A = this chain, B = another copy of it.
């Protein structure tokens, strides 16, 4: 078994054994060095965003002192859900390895697969309405006028 995936699997086992959350673990490698491992902590922390990949990305970015993880590889025990895939995009992680599939997660009772369908048409899945559109546009006008703005 791949060494880094084994580190991710050990995290997933930890999550299960401690009832921290679902059977999910992740590991992030930078220049051949393991810099972060994490597991799902949704149940332990009551934080719905505390997935293994999100937790690992937060640890790795703290360790490297940057939100740009474009030189990192992510190993995750399961195909990332839309939230975690989005986090991977924002962190600019170019390479991801996963052990189990969305179908495996669905059999385990998790909604990842369903959420990929929902995210293609969020307006049909939840109530999602515009409000105060002009005020929203003003924010971006102010942003574009801001001389010291930093894009990321």
Show the binding face of A for B, using Cβ within 8 Å.
1-2, 5-6, 9, 12-13, 16, 19, 21-23, 42-43, 46-49, 51, 54, 57-58, 61-62, 64-69, 75, 77-78, 80-101, 104-105, 107-111, 115-116, 118-120, 122, 125-133, 135-137, 139-140, 142-144, 146, 148-152
Contacts and interface: CB of A to CB of B under 8 A. Distances in A.
B78 A136 contact: yes
Contacts of A42: 67, 90, 152
Contact of A100 (B116, B119, B136): B136
Highest count of chain B CB atoms <10 Å: which of A1, A67, A91, A101: A67
Contact of A81 (B13, B86, B115, B116): B86
A1 B93 CA distance: 39
Contacts of A47: 57-58, 61-62, 67
A54 B49 contact: yes
Given A67-B47, A83-B87, A150-B43, A98 B22 contact: no
A126 B93 contact: yes
Given A132-B2, A133-B100, A135-B9, A88 B126 contact: yes
A100 B137 contact: yes
Nearest to A81: B86
Contacts of A61: 46-48
